[in-house]
Amino acid sequence: MIAPPISQGDAQIIVAASGAMREVLCLVDRVAASDCCVLIEGESGTGKELVARRLWTKSCRREFPFIPVNCAGISETLFESQFFGHVRGAFTGAEQNMLGVVRTADGGTVFLDEVSEIPLNLQPKLLRVLQEQEVMPVGKPIPVKVDTRFLAGTNRNLADMVRQGTFRRDLYHRLNIVRVVLPPLRERTDDVPALLDHFSRRFAEHYGREPIIVSQAVRSLLIGYSWPGNVRELAAWTERLYVTGLSPEALVEMLLGEVELGAGPFSAGLTSLQQVERQAIVYALERANFNQRKAARMLQVHRATLARKLKKHRLL
């Protein structure tokens, strides 16, 4: 399933109802205007590229290109050519001059997604560009000055990789001028209902449908789910509402049924909404240290509603 494309105007829209994400955005907005490198760390699906786009759109470079590069998808043999460009005849198949990513983004911003995947032997070449702001096109032994800002994203801990010898220490320190850490969705459950509403509006417009109402019971279950795929997984779940014709209740049972036993707060053996609701309540209570007020807030229900459900499920 392909989500509607993100326009430059939408690039700044990051849903942040939780305190954790609001703190992240405050940091992002403070450093956006500078030209420093920013290292964005977070699990897959937490929105690293969206944060990078926000940094770009709030900078003085927003009128120039933003180019995301999947570092894991670039072969070692073509790295220099794709990053720094080449001149015609530099190698077999080089039938015309090519600027490369860095020069194409001149004046703008390059986002190095999954920067941890750049092979160790190629990392010094990237370091030189960051330090000297110049590139050496393949087949042209004359350095070319560039004016490009670099942002980097990774779902791995680069500091650990430095200690293991799989990532250069000097490159790490050059990238890590400012470090932004995106918390996983399971650690910012306040964002789940806000994100659900955001994606619901987006997909309703995209598919030309009326917004689908999601009951409070289903919302509570979604809040309690561990979301291993983070925001991307929640977006995909919301899109299914608009393309499958299935009810939110049916889709949430399918979602929870996909969880492997022991892999999250819900058991794969649950077969009814009543069962998964009970599990959601138990999970919320455990996370709230059995403080019913906190658990009710986590489940997005009134304290009295939680009390009734505790009696119904014989959890008192």
For residue 91, the model assigns a pLDDT of 63
For residue 82, the model assigns a pLDDT of 84
For residue 128, the model assigns a pLDDT of 92
Q: CATH classification of 10-183 is 3.40.50.1580, yes or no? A: no
Whole-Å CA distances, 175 to 17, 100, 116, 123, 128:
29, 20, 11, 12, 12
Distance separating the N- and C-terminal Cα atoms of the chain: 43
d(CA 82, CA 77): 10
Nearest to 298 by CA among 213, 187, 182, 214: 187
For residue 12, the model assigns a pLDDT of 52
Enter the pTM of the model.
Answer: 0.79
- Domain map of the chain by residue range? 10-183, 186-312
For residue 268, the model assigns a pLDDT of 45
Per-residue pLDDT of the chain in tens (316 residues, 90 and over written 9)? 233 433 334 445 799 999 999 999 999 999 999 999 999 999 999 999 999 999 999 999 999 999 999 998 888 777 888 888 766 655 666 567 778 899 899 999 999 999 999 999 999 999 999 999 998 877 777 888 999 999 999 999 999 999 999 999 999 999 999 999 999 999 999 999 999 999 999 999 999 999 999 999 899 999 989 999 999 999 999 999 998 888 898 888 888 876 643 445 555 444 455 666 677 778 778 878 888 888 887 776 788 888 888 888 888 7
d(CA 125, CA 79): 10
Q: How far is CA 80 from the centre of its chain?
A: 27
